Structure 1
């Protein structure tokens, strides 16, 4: 049996259950349904976190029967490279991102439990964050990090992404990590960047909550997490520059305006602008600009993800050609832009 594959599926089921029960509990003011939603949320975090730890274990022990392990881990890699292989590919990095968002959401709920628990703002922030997690988990179900090799009826070896009960084919070795990634910066640059990306989710969800509920306390949630996102993104971009300088040269520069590199800089700029704008927001100004910048920062992060994973831009960071997963990210990005534009336009005309 393939327990990792099942864990990913159950994570998606519990995440969807948390969203639906949370929405119904809020709409009907049903406390018991609301409690069920929170239990499903924690269950989802435990399941997804367990799947991530299991994948790291397989990468460390080089269980190459899993295609992700075969592609990114090998016996000649040091232990820290094997663990770093978690974020060397799309599936592992998506899993890390999803687990990070859920962990941050739980922290938000615990931190603001005394002041915002049960409010429309917190419920909206929570449901939007969980909905975003659902998108990541859908991508993980479609391209499962626990896809496994197995023997087909004709004797050839294939890969299954859906059947956890097949007898897995024993692959004796892994092909290992891309040589460009075999650098000590690999252990810190990608996870730092992904933690920054994940942290942008909370300000976005809180800003949408403000646009829907007009609760000005959204800034208390958003600002601290925007600071965290800004810090991690700053470190991630800086560490990436050092890595590129060492490995790629780029004419003795740390920056080359690579498409993916540049797309990660743009949300850093909007996040910086938000951190300045929120100082005036507390004095009754920038009632439109502050949520606009919080929303734009997250949308730009999703756009950066699309640039990386769509293969439409030539970059040293790109992973693949345009696939169904790229299409889902494009659809997700479109929904974010359209819905956010509608809410922001509504707020703009309300202020006029």
Structure 2
């Protein structure tokens, strides 16, 4: 019913019967909400007659994690994604008081996207009865979810991902309508881009924190295929948010809509990669019969968009030369967008080339060094461009040129003087240049009397400050990380040991058995800048295998991780010695703090946009 009402709503919107179409969109929203609530009811009350509930639910789970378990399988994620997308389309229609041609066609395209997601949901339905399996009987208990997934960050991480995907459908649909109708202007998409961007930022931040708890620091960002695709989506949204500034000034008439469309297609491509059953990733699902549908839809929309983009009449963007023009926004935006596009290509090339080589029987996974080596230089240039943008128009171009020359000279001198910390020193110079530029700009922004503009400018400043803090935190924490290994026998409880200035005191070790499964718990006291009691767990599960959960402490000076891999044991054979590592990641707080600044900054820009919209309505 939801699928039929969505399709009919699209047809009616195309034929300019707006009222009937809106009524059907509302109907689709109600029906899809009912489906989600029905599945939630099944998970809460343990309805094991549904295969999906039996696979992912258990009486051992709390109410919160029963609901969270809805998001742990591909059937549930398809349903929630389709539901959120329909709600976003409903929001877009309700906020439009008058429908122009571009609005109508955009809604039609968005409904086509929703209908496609509903097709995926129908194919991979979470409502399949267990009785469709020959000879099946009602199970008394469910499989539950892996202990690795029992973390409050898990549902936040997955839900914000789907939320970001849902909001990406509107900019893509409006862009398609803009290209097919050969319109001269396109408005109303920036706030949807910002919401999608902020949700994906929360997704990556919570995912990093969750992986840090589960896998240790190496799990924060491994450049696995799903992470590579996700950063590509984030970069596409970032590029679109930069391009829209110049789009409203008559530039990037083809590029900006293609970026919006590509961001949505990248969401589908990431879904395809996750469900390809090729990668041995912590993010991967088993294979799915929907892979060919995803592939065909992506190819059709991509070529459809490119054809209409090439037909679109535009005036070409030019890059001017000379010192006077070198720092103009037209040029700095051009190079910023160019570098971001290169980074997007690098991010997508890794998983794509692996898929190609896999089917050629020559599978090769590109190592993290492939991404890191390219990304560092791209980010370094972006950082300097950020500082230039902050200062442009506030100081003379000649002054800006000399300031840049001084920072470059200092960087070169430091690299020659201290050759073993090249990456750190190169970025530190860029960091201080941008920080000084942002502070200078913020002081100038205090003169702004318009509240709406002041809020927007504050948001922009926070976003760029957050960006450089994230990068600096990542570089410093990995460059100066230290590992301290300790050996204890079980009779050394309370004994203090030290390694290179970091001390630990062994407090307790215990094992809990459940049939053939067990959980080992290590409790130690870490003495560094303070004294912290930390625990690390190591599971052996007959259903999920071996699972380690390091203890992690986040502090202002950095992160400390207690990593205990345990050892095989049985009730009759107890271990006598334990080995564990304490890893220090100084300045990691800069990374987490920078991520928060990014998110808060975009929230400020969204608030400014809402204030602007209210002001327009009053007029």
TM category, shorter: 0.7 to 0.9
Matched residue SS, 1:144: coil
Q: Residue 151 of structure 1: CA displacement?
A: 6.9
Task: Mark the CA change 1:246 to 1:11 in structure 2 (over 3 Å): closer, same or farther.
Answer: same
Range with bigger deviation, 46-55 or 142-151: 142-151
Structure 1 position 184 matched with structure 2 position 152: yes
**CA-atom RMSD, angstroms?**
1.7
Equivalent position of 2:191 in the other structure: 224
For residues 122 and 232 of structure 1, the distance between their equivalents in structure 2, rounded to whole angstroms, comes to 24
For residues 206 and 319 of structure 1, the distance between their equivalents in structure 2, rounded to whole angstroms, comes to 31
Q: 1:80 aligns with which of 43, 64, 80?
A: 64
Equivalent position of 1:7 in the other structure: none
Structure 1 position 11 matched with structure 2 position 15: no
Q: Residue 282 of structure 1: CA displacement?
A: 1.7
Range with bigger deviation, 283-292 or 190-199: 283-292
Q: Deviations over 1:38-77 (max 9, x none)?
A: 2221111111110001101111111111011101110111
Task: Please say if residues 208 and 340 of structure 1, whose CA atoms lie closer than 8 Å, have aligned partners that are also in contact.
Answer: yes
Q: Residue 246 of structure 1: CA displacement?
A: 1.1
Task: Please say if residues 80 and 187 of structure 1, whose CA atoms lie closer than 8 Å, have aligned partners that are also in contact.
Answer: no
Whichever structure has more strand as a proportion of its residues is 2
For residues 236 and 132 of structure 2, the distance between their equivalents in structure 1, rounded to whole angstroms, comes to 50
Structure with bigger gyration radius = 2
Q: Residue 217 of structure 1: CA displacement?
A: 4.7
Equivalent position of 1:138 in the other structure: 119
Q: Residue 224 of structure 1: CA displacement?
A: 0.6
Q: Deviations over 1:236-280 (max 9, x none)?
A: 0111111111112253x5211010011011011111111111111
For residues 298 and 334 of structure 1, the distance between their equivalents in structure 2, rounded to whole angstroms, comes to 13
Equivalent position of 2:279 in the other structure: 313
Equivalent position of 1:300 in the other structure: 266
Structure 1 position 106 matched with structure 2 position 117: no
Matched residue SS, 2:130: strand
Structure 1 position 120 matched with structure 2 position 86: no
Q: How many residues align?
A: 316
For residues 337 and 193 of structure 1, the distance between their equivalents in structure 2, rounded to whole angstroms, comes to 22
Q: 1:247 aligns with which of 211, 214, 217?
A: 214
TM-score by length of 2: 0.49
TM-score by length of 1: 0.85
Q: 1:96 aligns with which of 55, 59, 80?
A: 80
Equivalent position of 1:340 in the other structure: 305
Structure of higher RCO (CA pairs closer than 8 Å, 6+ residues apart): 1
Matched residue SS, 1:37: helix
Matched residue SS, 1:336: helix
Q: Deviations over 1:15-60 (max 9, x none)?
A: 122222332x23xxxx4xx332222211111111100011011111
Q: Residue 350 of structure 1: CA displacement?
A: 5.1
Q: Mind listing any 5+ residue stretches in structure 2 that lack a counterpart? A: 317-619
